[in-house]
Amino acid sequence: MKITDVSSTFISIPHLGSIQDATIRHPTRGRSQCFVHIHTDEGLEGLGVCDGGRAAQALINDSLKPILVGQDPLFIEKRWDDMFWRLRGVGRKGLAFAAISAVDTALWDLKAKYFNVPLYQLLGPYTDSVPIYGSGGWTHFSIDELVAEQMSYVERGMKSVKMKVGVDFGKSEREDIERLAAVRDAVGADVEILIDANNGYYAKQAIRMAREFEPYRVGWFEEPVLADDIEGLAAIARAIDIPVATGEHEYSKFGFRELIARGGADIVQPDIGRVGGVTEWMKVAHLAHAFNLPVAPHAFQVIHLHVTCATPNLRIVEYLGVSEEFDKLVYTEFPEPVDGMWSPYPDKPGLGLELDPDIVKKYSV
pLDDT in tens, 292-341: 999 999 999 999 999 999 999 999 999 999 999 999 999 999 999 999 99
> Is 132 in a helix, a strand, or coil?
strand
Contacts of 9 (CB under 8 A, 6+ apart): 34, 35, 37, 355, 360, 364
Of residues 310, 301, 245, 263, the one with CA closest to residue 283? 310
E-assigned strand segments in the chain? 3-13, 31-40, 45-50, 130-135, 160-164, 192-196, 218-222, 244-246, 267-268, 317-320, 341-342
pTM for the structure as a whole: 0.97
Rg (CA), the chain: 20
Give residue 92's pLDDT band: very low, low, confident or very high (50, 70, 90).
confident
Judge contact between 355 and 35, C-beta under 8 A. Answer: yes
Give residue 91's pLDDT band: very low, low, confident or very high (50, 70, 90).
confident
> Mean of the per-residue pLDDT values for the chain?
97
- φ, ψ of residue 150 in degrees (nearest 5): -65, -40
What are the distances in angstroms from CA 84 to CA 88, 107, 252? 6, 15, 11
Give residue 249's pLDDT band: very low, low, confident or very high (50, 70, 90).
very high
pLDDT digit string, tens, across residues 18-46: 999 999 998 888 999 999 999 999 999 99
Active site residue 289: no
E-assigned strand segments in 146-286? 160-164, 192-196, 218-222, 244-246, 267-268
Judge contact between 255 and 244, C-beta under 8 A. Answer: no
Is 77's pLDDT higher than 90?
Answer: yes
How many C-beta neighbours within 10 Å does residue 292 have? Answer: 7
> Is 52 in a helix, a strand, or coil?
coil
How many C-beta neighbours within 10 Å does residue 327 have? Answer: 17
The DSSP string of 253-315 is HHHHHHHHHTT--SEE---TTTTTHHHHHHHHHHHHHHTT--B---S-HHHHHHHHTT-TTB-
Residue 291 burial by CB count (10 A; 0-12/13-18/19+): exposed, middle or buried? middle
Tell me the β-bridge partners of 165.
none
Q: Which of 159, 253, 298, 348 is catalytic?
A: 298
Query: From CA 304, how far away is CA 297, in angstroms rounded?
Result: 7
- Determine the pLDDT at residue 201: 98
Q: Which of 159, 164, 253, 348 is catalytic?
A: 164
Of residues 37, 7, 6, the one with CA closest to residue 355? 37
> Is 47 in a helix, a strand, or coil?
strand
Query: From CA 210, how far away is CA 223, in angstroms rounded?
Result: 12
Of residues 281, 323, 283, 316, the one with CA closest to residue 302? 323
- How far is C-alpha 111 from the chain's CA centre? 22
Q: Which domains does the chain have, with CATH numbers?
A: 3-116+357-363 (3.30.390.10), 122-342 (3.20.20.120)
Active site residue 298: yes
